[in-house]
Amino acid sequence: MRCSVTLRRDGQGILATCGDYPSCEGRGATPAEALARLKESLAFWLELCPCDVTTAPGLELTVVRDETRA
């Protein structure tokens, strides 16, 4: 499963979001940390969803917008 990710500054850290799953997000001090937390959030959501059997190893996050670089 692929997920298009947007990174943006949020206060002191970075926020990673995926438009396909608006309730999932990842926050971290660095983009890598925010992406890792987003992946965890997506994996948790997908495990609870009976309509999808995708697991964390199958998740591919692609940054399509990076608003952290000013």
Burial class (CB in 10 A: 0-12, 13-18, 19+), 22: exposed
Where in the chain are the domains? 2-66
**With contact defined as beta carbons under 8 Å apart, do 4 and 19 qualify?**
yes
Closest CA to 67 of 5, 6, 12: 6
pTM: predicted TM-score of the whole model, two decimal places? 0.75
**CATH no., domain 2-66:** 3.30.2390
Tokens representing 20? 């396909």
In tens digits, the chain (70 residues) has pLDDT values of 778 899 999 988 999 999 888 889 999 999 999 999 999 998 888 776 656 555 555 677 878 888 887 6
CA separation, residue 22 to residues 6, 25, 49, 70 (Å): 11, 7, 15, 24
